[in-house]
Structure 1
Amino acid sequence: MNPFLTFLLLLIPIFFILVTIKRRTSQKFPPGSLGLPIIGQSLSLLWAMKANTTEKWLEERVKKYGPISKLSLFGNTAVFIYGQAANKLVFTSDGRTIANGQPASSRAILGERNLFQLNGEDHKRVRDSLVSFLKPECLKQYVGKMDGEVRRHLEMHWEDTQKVTVLPLMKTLTFNIICSLLFGVERGGRRDELVNCFQKMMEGMWSIPINLPFTRYNQSLRASAQAQNIVKELIHEKRVELEKKGASSHQDLITCLLSIHGKDKAALTEDEIVHNVMLVMVAGHDTSSILITFMVRLLENDPTILAGVVQEQEDIAKSKSSGELLTWEDLTKMKYTWKVALETLRVFPPVFGGFRKALKDVEYGGYLIPQGWNIFWVTSMTHMDANIFQEPSKFNPARFENQATIPPYCFVPFGAGARICPGYEFARIETLVAIHYLVTRFTWKLCCTDDTFSRVPLLVPNQGLPIQIMPKKLPSH
């Protein structure tokens, strides 16, 4: 080969390296400090979440560094962003630029093949599989079964008592609904074991990923392994039922996922089924139970809104014969109740924020987010922005009379765009059915005057929201 040509070929990669270095150095990295190795700002954020000072922690960060800053959380270098543009970046970027990227602790506990970790075609394939069971057309047939679970729960835990603690009971209810409708696990030893594993597993979801004996992270990993073994047993049993052709493909979520295969639909691997069942357990359990709990608190604090919800629900109850289950048509009449739920989600979003990962260098807000860094975004920063929601601290369900008036990517309790939560409709049905029976069967008073809450990492009201309950006289038909 010509020596001059050889020399040119050697110069080409050097040229590209120099251009890349120059481009990176010409761009500004976000301001901020990475803190101590591994720990970074993890402990200070976790302390703020537990002490109910998260908003102050974020405001101080914004005041010090501006709308974008670098930090280190849960073992990963990250960039904190917030606002409408940040939400749009997170929810509209394709999987080749910004990927789902949960903290290492969450990823290890839930599994690498869960929907929050997948991107591109894998994300679409698994999401479409989940939606095939969770879409409204399918969920219509489960309203009656959910009604039965709620009634049974109230008979066991609310009737013939004068005081209850709402959050733990709502968690019991939502977990039983998940076990029954999504996993086909009946009441008994296996469901109890799954509950225990799940509770231990949740404690380490946002923790520093140091896997040493007696750490919260280590205990959560062991609980996750136990839960995954139970799910694998369920998968084996349901596969046998399908092969014997004795099971409906839509009798529960696991059976539905096992049934997906054919010319147009690729089958899910066992890991994908297991890891997404784990994800559904987390997403479907805590968010709905927290929403219902905070609605109970807010309804007691606002008699006018309570009266509107009670009127709507009692009108529906009076239209039913004794013992008749709620139907999909009944849920469509609960418009005001759902507006109250949406306003609750605006003021008290159960999910604090989330993480993504930059697969390429990303230019945002005049700064460089380097490839490989995490992106940490926070929901509540737009929900409580006075430029978006007038008097944001005021609880006002009328904001949702016309959701089209809310600017896009500003109200995101369930995500947005292609990343919107596939369980949105399931959560809506669950919430409306539970609230219907609570307000038509009981009145209540708050036992705790301190209305603070903490995040561990999800919302927990002070003392779990203890209330004194009084049964209502059921309407005669």
Structure 2
Amino acid sequence: MDIFHWYLLQLLILCISLPFIFRIYRRKPISLKLPPGRKGWPIIGEALEYAMANKNGTPEKFITDRMRKYSPQVFRTSFFGENFAVFCGAPGNKFLFTSENKHVTTWVPRSILKIFLFPTDVEYSAKVEIAKIHALRPEFLNPEALQRYIPIMDSMSKQHLETDWSPCKQVKVFPLLKNYTFAVACRLFMNIKDHDQVTKFAYPFSLVSAGLLSIPINLPGTAFNRAVRAGKLIREELLGIIRKRKMELLENIGSSQVDLLSRLLLVRDENGRGMEEKDITHMIIGFFIGSYMTVGATITVVLNYLAEFPQVYSTVLKEQMQIAKSKGEDELLNWEDIQNMKYSWNVACEAMRLAPPALGAFGEVTADFSYAGFTIPKGWKTYWTVSSTHKNPEYFPDPEKFDPSRFEGRGPAPYTFVPFGGGPRLCPGKEYARVEILTFMHNVVTKFKLEKVNPNEKFIYNYNLSSIPENGLLVQLHPLNN
């Protein structure tokens, strides 16, 4: 009888508990109003659709189609097994840019970490690496440091044009600029000047760039596998350079060098410890990837529009000739000259509006939060995109028109022009890019007038998401008689 009552009591408790258990398990799915959208194919999600839009030179179509179909504020998609909330418009940009370390933290796909980092550090937090770069930005990328870079960039651009452009009637712009911006990075970051060493170092970086956001299948012959192997070569090469420089600094050889590598080796924490060699390697790779490819692609886009719009070129030429005539013989550009290139920078900004150096950036949700009436769950990934503002007629009337006057006066509304991100997520290399773009513009427009050989050449977005000309942008060079 006691046993019977005991079982009866257990059954009674179970019957009473079931509705509560059912309600608890139902509560979370019911309460989570997820952003509308679709997950796409198993595993790969909508990655192929996005890649095809990029390949066709219309990445904004992937975004705008889903904004119209699902929500103009935030929609759901999936790439390679990860759920993404894509934030749209100026409010979406503002929310993500101001939510760093509140709702969202930096996130880098594991496949990219496998390319960049030493194998033992793949689980290492990308947030820590990026935080280090931002912490060092005031020292390495502040106006004082940039002022030292300008004469070097100026002299290198002059030499590059004289050597690789002047002997030719026609040139392919993008391959030349990719080589040029890589050489500038080698000089400023590690004081590497030898042409053969730069060329040798550039090859594995080209493989990394090609495989950076490719399908992460690590099998021989795939772009991702080539990128992983190239990343290993780069790390080994950098370790050799770092150790050699450490010895030089210990022997007080080249202690006056002001390149990035020497400065990183001289950094000390509060306990007097220097940075680990592998951390320096990671940081230099990050600076390279963030500088040479995107800047080279951006200058290419700028030159494309200068060739396409003669009146814009004439106005840029007038501004740059005034600066050139103010200089003494063999006097190089300086910080004041860069500040006086206002119209030229407006032209560059309009070029970046139409063909941004990057299409957006990733983040990871650290705790459930609500946005625009939807719940974004912890663990989801976020993505902000330039496409939802740069070509949005709400922010830029007649958005396909090339019009540098958009940037006169106060310029575009906040959070609408975001080629470098914004807020805590502002690209640390923005001013570096501005100086390099304007320095090259000055030299090329005062030396040549450009004419596109194929006026209809299409620009596409490759795997590293920079806008590049499909066939390299072949131009006819018309030397100026200054």
Q: What's the counterpart of residue 348 of structure 2? A: 341
CA distance in 2, matches of 1:186, 1:169: 17
User: Secondary structure at 1:203's aligned position in 2?
Assistant: helix
Worse-superposed segment, 183-192 or 381-390? 183-192
User: Secondary structure at 2:471's aligned position in 1?
Assistant: helix
Tell me if 1:421 matches 2:427.
yes
1:259, distance to aligned residue in structure 2 (A)? 1.2
Tell me the alpha carbon deviations over residues 50-70 of structure 1, each in whole angstroms, 9 at most, x when there is no partner. Answer: 122322222222222223222
Given the superposition, is the C-alpha separation of residues 365 and 201 from structure 1 closer, same or farther in structure 2, using an over 3 Å criterion?
same
Worse-superposed segment, 405-414 or 349-358? 405-414
Tell me if 1:468 matches 2:476.
yes
- Number of equivalent positions: 457
Q: Indicate the structure (1 or 2) with the bigger Cα radius of gyration.
A: 2
Out of 244, 252, 264, the residue aligned to residue 251 of structure 2 is 244
Alignment gaps of 5+ in structure 2: 1-19
1:161, distance to aligned residue in structure 2 (A)? 0.9
Given the superposition, is the C-alpha separation of residues 254 and 24 from structure 1 closer, same or farther in structure 2, using an over 3 Å criterion?
farther
Alignment gaps of 5+ in structure 1: 1-14
Q: Which amino acid counterpart does residue 346 of structure 1 have in structure 2?
A: R
Tell me the alpha carbon deviations over residues 379-431 of structure 1, each in whole angstroms, 9 at most, x when there is no partner. Answer: 1211122222233222222222223x532221111111122111111111111
CA distance in 1, matches of 2:356, 2:419: 6
Q: What's the counterpart of residue 412 of structure 2? A: 406
Tell me if 1:79 matches 2:103.
no
Out of 307, 313, 318, the residue aligned to residue 320 of structure 2 is 313
1:267, distance to aligned residue in structure 2 (A)? 4.3
Q: What's the counterpart of residue 276 of structure 2? A: 269
- Kindly report which structure 2 residues correspond to 1:102-117, keeping only aligned pairs within 5 A, or say none: 102-111=108-117
CA distance in 2, matches of 1:226, 1:309: 42
1:468, distance to aligned residue in structure 2 (A)? 0.6
1:158, distance to aligned residue in structure 2 (A)? 0.4
Tell me if 1:164 matches 2:167.
no
For the 8 Å contact 1:130–1:257, the answer to whether it is kept is no
Given the superposition, is the C-alpha separation of residues 53 and 408 from structure 1 closer, same or farther in structure 2, using an over 3 Å criterion?
closer
For the 8 Å contact 1:76–1:103, the answer to whether it is kept is no
Out of 49, 56, 66, the residue aligned to residue 61 of structure 1 is 66
Tell me the alpha carbon deviations over residues 352-383 of structure 1, each in whole angstroms, 9 at most, x when there is no partner. Answer: 12211112222222112211111122112111
1:439, distance to aligned residue in structure 2 (A)? 0.7
1:264, distance to aligned residue in structure 2 (A)? 8.7
For the 8 Å contact 1:383–1:389, the answer to whether it is kept is yes
Tell me if 1:438 matches 2:444.
yes
Q: What's the counterpart of residue 27 of structure 1? A: 32
Q: Which amino acid counterpart does residue 413 of structure 1 have in structure 2?
A: P
For the 8 Å contact 1:445–1:467, the answer to whether it is kept is yes
Given the superposition, is the C-alpha separation of residues 354 and 221 from structure 1 closer, same or farther in structure 2, using an over 3 Å criterion?
same
Q: What's the counterpart of residue 459 of structure 1? A: 467
1:26, distance to aligned residue in structure 2 (A)? 0.9
For the 8 Å contact 1:361–1:368, the answer to whether it is kept is yes
Q: Which amino acid counterpart does residue 226 of structure 1 have in structure 2?
A: L
CA distance in 2, matches of 1:142, 1:349: 24
CA distance in 1, matches of 2:419, 2:244: 35
User: Secondary structure at 2:303's aligned position in 1?
Assistant: helix
CA distance in 2, matches of 1:427, 1:35: 36
Given the superposition, is the C-alpha separation of residues 291 and 20 from structure 1 closer, same or farther in structure 2, using an over 3 Å criterion?
farther
Q: What's the counterpart of residue 295 of structure 1? A: 302
Q: Which amino acid counterpart does residue 408 of structure 1 have in structure 2?
A: P
Q: Which amino acid counterpart does residue 409 of structure 1 have in structure 2?
A: Y
Instruction: Give the % identical residues.
Output: 34
Q: What's the counterpart of residue 49 of structure 2? A: 44
1:459, distance to aligned residue in structure 2 (A)? 0.8
Tell me the alpha carbon deviations over residues 155-202 of structure 1, each in whole angstroms, 9 at most, x when there is no partner. Answer: 111012100011111111100100011122222443222100000111
Given the superposition, is the C-alpha separation of residues 60 and 188 from structure 1 closer, same or farther in structure 2, using an over 3 Å criterion?
same
CA distance in 1, matches of 2:296, 2:443: 15
For the 8 Å contact 2:457–2:471, the answer to whether it is kept is no
Tell me the alpha carbon deviations over residues 199-230 of structure 1, each in whole angstroms, 9 at most, x when there is no partner. Answer: 01111111222212221111111111111111
1:256, distance to aligned residue in structure 2 (A)? 1.0
Q: What's the counterpart of residue 10 of structure 1? A: none
For the 8 Å contact 2:100–2:424, the answer to whether it is kept is no
Out of 127, 132, 143, the residue aligned to residue 139 of structure 2 is 132
Q: What's the counterpart of residue 211 of structure 1? A: 218
TM, length-normalised to structure 1: 0.90
Q: What's the counterpart of residue 370 of structure 1? A: 377
CA distance in 2, matches of 1:87, 1:472: 43
- Kindly report which structure 2 residues correspond to 1:165-244, keeping only aligned pairs within 5 A, or say none: 165-244=172-251
Given the superposition, is the C-alpha separation of residues 246 and 447 from structure 1 closer, same or farther in structure 2, using an over 3 Å criterion?
same
Q: What's the counterpart of residue 324 of structure 1? A: 331
Given the superposition, is the C-alpha separation of residues 94 and 355 from structure 1 closer, same or farther in structure 2, using an over 3 Å criterion?
closer
Tell me if 1:351 matches 2:376.
no
For the 8 Å contact 1:146–1:433, the answer to whether it is kept is yes
For the 8 Å contact 2:129–2:283, the answer to whether it is kept is no
1:94, distance to aligned residue in structure 2 (A)? 3.0
1:47, distance to aligned residue in structure 2 (A)? 1.5
1:96, distance to aligned residue in structure 2 (A)? 5.0
TM, length-normalised to structure 2: 0.89
Given the superposition, is the C-alpha separation of residues 266 and 32 from structure 1 closer, same or farther in structure 2, using an over 3 Å criterion?
farther
